[in-house]
Each structure stands twice: as structure tokens, then as C-alpha cells.
């Protein structure tokens, strides 16, 4: 089988980098006493070499443009390069190509230091075998492609979002694939020699690796006593994961599907005071069975990260420990509901039950579960502790009384590590 290589441009193809680039151009203009370019002009800075952009779009002399480049890099190398996000779908594309044995590289007009630290920061380095970056002496894409070309009989593609990528590919004699989700238009890509055009990263996977299946996503859950701040942390974690290119979908238990939401109403209604413990446990399991099949499994199979507010652990803690039904009985009731579907990682927001009670009563009206007495919630807290001590590697435990941003950072770090380890 002949070797296949795919070279990706970075800005506008793997990462959406406008925020960092624009902030750095504005900073440079201010520092050098030039008027700050308008939005349309700022857009033009993504793709071509900086030296020519400073001259062409801001009217600088060549000497001023070199000075501007070093001012720009001062900010870019410390802050700007991380004001950046991986396009949704790019991780799935890279994973699918790697799984198919396709070699990958990055060919970019950025300097090597920034390129490598961006790839490292976003956990993309493991997919990329070769990197070819612009230097002050050499910035043309065809030269950059030639510098990393494999042997003669390999099939080679250049993938990019601007005319520079397509023209470079044509000159270097490789196949060209233009992506329209970046900064160039479809017309620009066609005019500069794009052989194929795609509108999403996954369409690129279908061309570069026909017949490939989307790599599986992941299932994560968030647990904690009522009032531990799960909703806030779910929002924060979602924003971070999206920056890293993960496609996140939310769900909750009990609930997450129309049938499960109806069961939720029965479970939480303050009118249902006569509900027996067994009924309660079975209803949570029934809602879960539907949720697993209708929502969780399909989302993970479609490559998404499904982030769920509560899952099986809640039943173990609330019904197993809180209602004193026993852990094994709860696991037995839930076995047919979940089968092998368990979270890759569970975030536990650790809050003592007294603080939880105080926070709950200050918030909205209490539901049927929240109306339970203090000793019930003390047992739930103990139930979670027991679960975590039995299986510590499945949990990230964070102190829910700490600073929100620090909690969010600790969660993001642990979750990203686990997600990246699970990426084939
Ligand atoms: P919810 O309003 O979602 O609580 P929170 O906002 O604290 O997540 O209500 C869910 C309630 O149901 C909560 O008190 C915990 C309880 N519960 C169980 O008792 N067993 C379970 O299996 C699940 C999923 C939740």
C-alpha cells in the first residue's frame, strides 16, 4: 500500500485563531502609533506572511514592518497563541486519519516555537509527525511543503483555508483540499487551484479516508449533593472542552429524554409523598434505561462528549445509602438499565451536607428529595465517599467550597487528561 501524507495548514484549518491574531495586530498598531485597522482589514491578516500584511494593509515601510513583526511576536508568543480554539470536528478528523495509518504534518506560516506550543497545548502533537514552519528567510508554502515531502511514490495532500495553501500545494505538485470553514471563500480556494472543497472537518475525513467511521466520543458525569454547584461547573467545563475542539452535549438525570423527563416529574413532585423506596429506585432506573439508549449511547457513537448532570452514582448514594436500600441491591436494579454504559470519568463536587442544606434552602423551592431530613443527606454524603474510596481512579474529587475558577481549572485539567488518553 502506498504511503499517504496529509499536510494541514494551522490557522483557519486546524485552529480558529482570529482572536489572538487580531488582538496582537491591534496591540502592534497601538504600540507603533498606527491607526488600529478595521474588522475587514484585520481579517486579511490571517494567512499571509505578517511582513507583507503590515506593508500592504497598514501602509508601513519594510523597515517598520520588521519592527512591527517583533512587537507582534512579543505578545503573540506569550498570550496571543492561546487565544485560539480547535475547530469542532478537527479532533475526530485527526483521530480517524491516524487510525487509518495516514501520516500527518503541519505546514504553516507561523514560526516553529508558536506552532509547537499550540499543538502541545491542545494535545494535537501526537497526531502530527512533521512540522514545517516559516522562518524569516522562507515563508512560501510550496517551499515549506517541499521541506517535509515524503518519498516519490507517496500520495500527498495539502489541506488549507486560503489561496496560499492551494497555490503552494499546486506548485509543490501535491493534491489540494480547500476548507471553507476557515478564512478564505470557496471562490478564493477554487481560483487558487483547490482540487476538492469541503465545508466541515468531517467532510475532509470522508475524502482523505473514504468509508471511515466517526471515532467514539466519551461519556462524563458530574455528581454531588444538591447545591454543590454542578450547573455552574458544567457550563465552565463545556466552554473549555469546546476550546479544545470537543463537541459537547449536555444531559441530566433523572431526565434527558421525553420519557425520562416524565418520570422525573413523578419522582420529584412534592405530592408523591407515598412513594415507596423500591418504587423510587425502580423509577430512577427506568428513566436511566431510556436515557442510556435514546441519548447517551447515540451521542457517544456520533463522536460527542456527553456531559451528564448525575448518573448511576446518584442512585447508589441517594437510594443505596440515603434510603438504606444497600449498594448491591441498587446496582442489581440498575444493571439492565446501564449494561456496560458507565462514565469514563466522574467529577465529584465535594460539599458537606450541612452547607448543601443551607445552599438549597436559600435557592428555589425544595423538591421531594431535597425535603428529606438532615440524616438522609448525611447518609448520601457518606454514600458518595464510600463509592469514591472503592474506585478512586474513576473520580475527580474537588472541594466545592473553593473558588469557582480554581474548581473549574482543576476539573478541566483532569478531564482533558483523561479525554486525551482515551483518544486513539
Ligand atoms: P435535581 O433538581 O436535578 O437536583 P440537582 O439540581 O441537585 O442535581 O434533582 C434530582 C434529585 O434526584 C436530586 O435530589 C438527587 C435525586 N436523585 C436520586 O435520588 N437518585 C438518582 O438516581 C438520581 C439521578 C437523582
Domain that holds residue 247: 218-422
Q: Is the pLDDT of residue 370 over 90?
A: no
| Dist. CA 98 → ligand 1 center (Å) | 40
**82 alpha carbon – ligand 1 mean position (Å):** 37
C-beta 309 within 6 A of ligand 1: yes
Percent of the chain predicted with pLDDT > 70 = 100
Give 240 Cα–ligand 1 centroid separation in angstroms: 25
Same domain, 234 and 364: yes
- Nearest-atom number in ligand 1 for the CA of 310 is 24
Check pLDDT > 80 for residue 424.
no
Least confident of 94-98, 110-114, 172-176, 381-385: 110-114
The verdict on the CB of residue 27 being under 6 Å from ligand 1 is no
State which of 208, 239, 255 marks the end of a domain.
208
Pocket test for ligand 1, best of 226, 333, 362, 370 (most atoms within 8 A of CB): 226
Average pLDDT of the chain, as a whole number: 95
What is the rounded average pLDDT of the residues 130-147?
90
Q: Looking at 82, 100, 135, which one is the last position of a domain?
A: 82
Q: Is the CB of 13 under 6 A from ligand 1?
A: no
Residues 255 and 403 in one domain: yes
Assess whether the C-beta atom of 313 lies below 6 angstroms from ligand 1.
Answer: no
pLDDT tens-place string over residues 249-266: 999 999 999 999 999 999
Q: What is the mean pLDDT of residues 164-190?
A: 96
Report whether residue 132 contacts ligand 1, using a CB cutoff of 6 Å: no
Query: Is it the case that residue 341 has pLDDT exceeding 80?
Result: yes
pTM greater than the 0.75 cutoff = yes
Q: Over range 257-281, report the average pLDDT.
A: 96
pLDDT of residue 364: 75
pLDDT at 40: 92
Answer yes or no: is pLDDT of 193 > 90: yes
Answer yes or no: is the C-beta of 315 below 6 A from any ligand 1 atom: yes
* pLDDT tens, residue by residue, 55-90: 999 999 999 999 999 999 999 989 998 999 999 999
Cβ of 314 closer than 6 Å to ligand 1, yes or no, is yes
What local confidence, expressed as pLDDT, does residue 137 receive? 75
Same domain, residue pair 112 and 70: no
Decide whether any atom of ligand 1 lies within 6 Å of the 280 Cβ: no
Q: For residue 253, which atom of ligand 1 is closest to its CA?
A: 24
- Tell whether 189 is covered by a domain: yes
**CATH number of the domain encompassing residue 320:** 3.40.50.300
Query: Does the Cβ of 253 fall within 6 Å of ligand 1?
Result: yes
Residues 27 and 149 in one domain: no
Q: What is the CATH number of the domain that holds 45?
A: 1.10.150.240
Q: Whose CA is nearest to atom 20 of ligand 1?
A: 315
254 lines ligand 1 (CB under 6 A): yes
The residue contributing the CA closest to ligand 1 atom 14 is 369
Average the pLDDT over 364-390 and give the result: 89
Residue nearest to atom 8 of ligand 1 (CA): 226
pLDDT mean over 236-254: 97
- State whether 281 and 133 are in the same domain: no
Closest ligand 1 atom to residue 252 Cα is: 3
Work out how many domains the chain is built from and give that number: 3
Domain boundary among 33, 59, 82: 82
Task: Tell me, yes or no, whether 204 and 258 share the same domain.
Answer: no
Q: Is any ligand 1 atom within 6 A of the Cβ of residue 142?
A: no
Query: In terms of domains, do 33 and 163 share one?
Result: no
> How would you write the chain as a 3-class SS string?
CCCEEEEECCECCCEECHHHHHHHHHHHHHHHCCCCCCHHHHHCCCCCCHHHHHHHHHCCCHHHHHHHHHHHHHHHCCCHHHCCEECCCHHHHHHHHHHCCCEEEEEECCCHHHHHHHHHHCCCHHHCCEEEECECCECCHHHHHHHCCCCCCCEEEEEECCHHHHHHHHHHCCEEEEECCCCCCHHHHHHCCCCEEECCHHHHHHHHCCCCCCCCCEEEEEEECCCCCHHHHHHHHHHHHHHCCCCEEEEECCCCCHHHHHHHHHHHCCCCCCCCHHHHHHHHHHHHHHHHHHHHHHHHHCCCEEEEECCHHHHHHHHHHHCCCCHHHHHHHHHHHHCCCCCCEEEEEECCHHHHHHHHHHCCCCCCCCCCCHHHHHHHHHHHHHHHHHCHHHEEEEECCCCHHHHHHHHHHHHHHHHHHHCC
Q: Is 223 in the pocket of ligand 1 (CB under 6 A)?
A: no
Q: Tell me: do 315 and 414 sit in the same domain.
A: yes
> For residue 327, what pLDDT band results from cuts at 50, 70 and 90?
very high
Is position 114 within any domain?
Answer: yes
Using the atom order of ligand 1, give the atom closest to the CA of residue 254: 24
Ligand 1 lined by 310 (C-beta under 6 Å): yes
pLDDT of 361 above 80: no
Decide whether any atom of ligand 1 lies within 6 Å of the 256 Cβ: no
Give domain status of residue 213, yes or no: no
Asked whether residue 120 is assigned to any structural domain, the reply reads yes
250 and 227 assigned to the same domain: yes
pLDDT digits (tens, 9 = 90+) for 84-134: 999 999 999 999 999 999 999 999 988 899 999 999 999 999 999 999 998
Amino acid at each position: 500500500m502506498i504511503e499517504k501524507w496529509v499536510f494541514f495548514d494551522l490557522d483557519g484549518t486546524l485552529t480558529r485563531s482570529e482572536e489572538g491574531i487580531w488582538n496582537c495586530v491591534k496591540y502592534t498598531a497601538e504600540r507603533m502609533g498606527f491607526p488600529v485597522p478595521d474588522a475587514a482589514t484585520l481579517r486579511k491578516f490571517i494567512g499571509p506572511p505578517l511582513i507583507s500584511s503590515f506593508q500592504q494593509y497598514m501602509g508601513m515601510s519594510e523597515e517598520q514592518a520588521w519592527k512591527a513583526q517583533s512587537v507582534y511576536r512579543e505578545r503573540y508568543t506569550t498570550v496571543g497563541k492561546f487565544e485560539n480554539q480547535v475547530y469542532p470536528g478537527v479532533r475526530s478528523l485527526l483521530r480517524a486519519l491516524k487510525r487509518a495509518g495516514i501520516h500527518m504534518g503541519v505546514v504553516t506560516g507561523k514560526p516553529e516555537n508558536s506552532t509547537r506550543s499550540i499543538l502541545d497545548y491542545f494535545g494535537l502533537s501526537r497526531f502530527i509527525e512533521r512540522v514545517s514552519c516559516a522562518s524569516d528567510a522562507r515563508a512560501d508554502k510550496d517551499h515549506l511543503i517541499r521541506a517535509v515531502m515524503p518519498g516519490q511514490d507517496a500520495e500527498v495532500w495539502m489541506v488549507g483555508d486560503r489561496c496560499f495553501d492551494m497555490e503552494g500545494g499546486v506548485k509543490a505538485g501535491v493534491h489540494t483540499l480547500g476548507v471553507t470553514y476557515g478564512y478564505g471563500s470557496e471562490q478564493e480556494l477554487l481560483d487558487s487551484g483547490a482540487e476538492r472543497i469541503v465545508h466541515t472537518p468531517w467532510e475532509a475525513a470522508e475524502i482523505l479516508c473514504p468509508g471511515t467511521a466517526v471515532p467514539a466520543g466519551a461519556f462524563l458525569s458530574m455528581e454531588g449533593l444538591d447545591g454543590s454547584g454542578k450547573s455552574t461547573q458544567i457550563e465552565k467545563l463545556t466552554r473549555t472542552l469546546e476550546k479544545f475542539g470537543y463537541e459537547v452535549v449536555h444531559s441530566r438525570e433523572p431526565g434527558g429524554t421525553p420519557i425520562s423527563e416524565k418520570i422525573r416529574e413523578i419522582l420529584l413532585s412534592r405530592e408523591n409523598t407515598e412513594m415507596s423506596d423500591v418504587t423510587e429506585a425502580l423509577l430512577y432506573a427506568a428513566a436511566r434505561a431510556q436515557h442510556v439508549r435514546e441519548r447517551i449511547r447515540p451521542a457517544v457513537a456520533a463522536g460527542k462528549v456527553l456531559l451528564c448532570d448525575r448518573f448511576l452514582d446518584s442512585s447508589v448514594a441517594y437510594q443505596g445509602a440515603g434510603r438504606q436500600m444497600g449498594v448491591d441491591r441498587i446496582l442489581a436494579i440498575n444493571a439492565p438499565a446501564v449494561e456496560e454504559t458507565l462514565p469514563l470519568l466522574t467529577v465529584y463536587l465535594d460539599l458537606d451536607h450541612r452547607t448543601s442544606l443551607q445552599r438549597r434552602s436559600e435557592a428555589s423551592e425544595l423538591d421531594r428529595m431535597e425535603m428529606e431530613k438532615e440524616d438522609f443527606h448525611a447518609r448520601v454524603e457518606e454514600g458518595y465517599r464510600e463509592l469514591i474510596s472503592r474506585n478512586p481512579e474513576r473520580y475527580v474529587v474537588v472541594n466545592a467550597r473553593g473558588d469557582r475558577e480554581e474548581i473549574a481549572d482543576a476539573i478541566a485539567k483532569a478531564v482533558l487528561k483523561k479525554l486525551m488518553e482515551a483518544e486513539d
